[in-house]
Chains A and B, each alone.
Chain A
Amino acid sequence: MPRGAVAFTPGESKRIAQELGTATLVVKAQIHAGGRGKGGGVQVVRGMNELESVAGKMLGSCLVTHQTGPEGRTVSRVLIEEGLDITKELYLSLLLDRSQECLVMIASSAGGIDIEKVAADSPELITRESIRLETGVSDVQVRQLSAALGFEESQFETAAQVMRAVYDTYTTNDATLVEINPLVVTGSGQVVALDAKITLDDNALFRHANLVELRDLGEEETLEIEASKHSLSYIRLNGDIGCMVNGAGLAMATMDIIKFAGGEPANFLDVGGGANAGQIHEAFKILISDENVTAVLINIFGGILRCDVLAKGVIAAVRDLEVRVPIVVRMEGTNVDQGRELLKDSGLNFSTASTMAEAADHVVALAATTET
């Protein structure tokens, strides 16, 4: 990491700069959004006068980047960092290797740019090492990866330290990706992680309360937050046909068939295998609070989720929420006869379909006629 500290006033920034003692300094706006560089929130300065002037302008200003939205964010603090004399930009990451069933550390001497492009254009610049949890990053692996990064033998200890820090960060936080890009080497031979990205495993957040606190709900879709509170998997899309499906694969396939039938799905919604009536109710509430929805397709194949449970949940939700949009239901599987019976006896206006294609055609037609 580069040396630096956070300042709330131009005076503080000057004091920090004096302690750092480097001729070149970097002023970084501290907001919860990316794209700061392009928005003018990261600036390189030389000397105290320029520093005070830049920090003074940045503090209290409203910074707009492609991630903040047009209203921008007010900058109340800036990070003052030592300027670095960069001689090399490298790439280092650790992620899951699905087919090898272990972790893989990836190193490249071509850092600072899109690594996927490097992998596609010049794969010889990418080195991979499988990392086992039993052994961590071994000395031999450090040596292999160091060579790929172009490190000297004298830099072995530093390389080992960086690689093991990446490994520790990954394993102690239940990450699915830790990526340093770029990892830079300075003129004096120092190795510095200039920028890093960490992706966490949602399934492991239950044992990382400290990381859950970092979640910035302001950055997420309101309906998706509401869905995640009820363990529902919901993703909002741009169409007008609301979908409620059990099973991720079937939910994806339902989106696909709606598109093929000429319609546009309003969402992806997987109520999961073991959903109860309460969750079905919440799912319905989320689904229809999207005001673009003009028709709903419920596509259920009962495994853990029994069709009678689903039918009861849907009937209760439609009554409570006074749903007016047309609903097409297609169900099969465990307790399907009880489920169909319940829908029929409810007195509510459900359309039923026996195949997916029929259901898709029907809901697309209904959505088209409901549109004003």
Chain B
Amino acid sequence: MSILIDQKTRLIVQGLTGREGTFHAMQSSAYGTVVVGGVTPGKGGKIHEGWPIFNTVRAAVTETGANTSLVFVPPAFAADAIIEAAEAGVPLIVCITEGIPILDMVRAMSVVDDQGTRLIGPNCPGLISPGQSKVGIIPGHICSKGSVGIISRSGTLTYEAIHQITSLGLGQSTCVGLGGDPLIGTSFVDALEMFQDDAETEAVVLIGEIGGTAEEEAAAYIRTEFDKPVVGFIAGQTAPPGRRMGHAGAIISEGKGTAVEKMDALSSCGVRVVTSPGLIGEAVIEMLAG
């Protein structure tokens, strides 16, 4: 078992003909993901690296039976790409693009919610269910199949956690990069709900960062609903307030959204919170043993 993606995943890539789109479609395919085609407006009918290219998502879905779309479209057009995929009825959309204007995402979220679409990202590394499917840019070779679920607002910290867990002889059920933007399709709570129902997942690593209240909401959910062990880490413990730390969503604004508040909220709900990402793996082992 896993959440969101598995062997039944049939993937199209929006922006497949671009440089990053091509590289990561090939990487995902090499990992074992069933990549069935790409969408690039104006290039419909062409074949790119062996994959059929379509002008629209709707055509791609009709022809290939795709059930997941990976978005590698430049920021100015990425929200439209999400809307197009949602309206074409794609149930799972994963958007890697960084730098999408916030108002564009407000519009896209409204369509995504109306259609009942599951959106991962934007500004995220995507997800991987080791041994089954990879949709996005998480390096497959650091993963191994196992029982730890990983959810994170930060791409490279996700890899950090995966790598440690693999090095310690454990593995992952599904790793989900939720994204570093202020508006993202899937929250910690959404992902925790799925892990709660996934029999294979025995523990969860939650990697948050400064800004917003998603970690506090996750803490409240864990307290009342979630009964598997959780290890937490929050990036930005020493970040100065008022400065946007790379991610559009990572800012301590008017004294709110600090790492300390988030760490306290998670600790008080039974989460084992570590102060360095280097300690995540060992903490998972202790939680599983204890």
Residues on A facing B (Cβ under 8 Å): 96, 98-99, 101-103, 116, 132-134, 171, 174, 176, 201-204, 206-207, 233, 235, 237, 245-253, 255-257, 259-260, 265, 268, 270, 272-274, 300-304, 332-334, 355-357
Interchain CB contact under 8 A, B245 and A101: no
Interchain CB contact under 8 A, A101 and B183: yes
Chain A hits for B276, CB < 8 A:
253, 256-257, 260, 356-357
Q: How far is the CB of A257 from chain B (nearest CB, A)?
A: 5
Interchain CB contact under 8 A, B243 and A252: no
* Distance between Cα atoms of A274 and B97 in the complex (Å): 10
Decide yes or no: A273 and B137 within 8 Å by CB, A247-B154, A256-B236 being known contacts. Answer: yes
Decide yes or no: A248 and B154 within 8 Å by CB, A116-B254, A304-B137, A333-B142 being known contacts. Answer: yes
Query: B195 in the interface, Cβ–Cβ < 8 Å?
Result: no
Chain B 76-116 interface 0/1 with A at a Cβ cutoff of 8 Å (1 = within) = 10000000000000000000001111111011011001000
Given A116-B255, A301-B156, output 8 extra A-B contacts at Cβ < 8 Å. Answer: A96-B102, A174-B103, A246-B156, A253-B154, A253-B235, A259-B237, A260-B275, A333-B163
Decide yes or no: A249 and B154 within 8 Å by CB, A203-B248, A303-B125 being known contacts. Answer: yes
* Distance between Cα atoms of A95 and B196 in the complex (Å): 33
Decide yes or no: A102 and B160 within 8 Å by CB, A203-B101, A257-B278, A302-B139 being known contacts. Answer: no
Interchain CB contact under 8 A, A250 and B275: no
Chain A hits for B75, CB < 8 A:
203
Query: B138 in the interface, Cβ–Cβ < 8 Å?
Result: yes
Interchain CB contact under 8 A, B98 and A273: yes
Interchain CB contact under 8 A, A99 and B217: yes
Q: A356 — nearest CB in chain B belongs to which residue? A: B278
- Nearest 5 CB-CB pairs, A to B? A249-B154, A248-B246, A247-B156, A204-B101, A270-B246
Q: B76 — nearest CB in chain A belongs to which residue? A: A206
Number of residues on chain B facing chain A (CB within 8 A):
63
* Distance between Cα atoms of A231 and B214 in the complex (Å): 27
Interchain CB contact under 8 A, A201 and B247: no
Interchain CB contact under 8 A, A102 and B106: yes
Chain A hits for B20, CB < 8 A:
274, 304
Partner of A256, one of B100, B180, B207, B235: B235
* Distance between Cα atoms of A247 and B163 in the complex (Å): 16
Chain A hits for B269, CB < 8 A:
none
Chain B hits for A207, CB < 8 A:
76, 101
Partner of A237, one of B98, B104, B213, B240: B240
* Distance between Cα atoms of A300 and B139 in the complex (Å): 13
* 26 pairs, CB–CB < 8 Å, chain A vs chain B: A96-B106, A98-B183, A99-B217, A116-B254, A116-B255, A116-B256, A133-B106, A171-B103, A203-B100, A248-B154, A248-B180, A248-B246, A249-B207, A249-B209, A252-B209, A252-B246, A253-B235, A256-B236, A268-B239, A268-B243, A268-B245, A302-B159, A303-B155, A304-B20, A304-B24, A332-B160
Residues on B facing A (Cβ under 8 Å): 20, 24, 75-76, 98-104, 106-107, 109-110, 113, 125, 137-139, 142, 152-157, 159-160, 163, 180, 182-183, 187, 207, 209-210, 212-214, 217, 233, 235-240, 243-250, 254-256, 275-278
Q: B254 — nearest CB in chain A belongs to which residue? A: A116
Interchain CB contact under 8 A, A133 and B245: no
* Distance between Cα atoms of A250 and B247 in the complex (Å): 11
Interchain CB contact under 8 A, B180 and A203: no
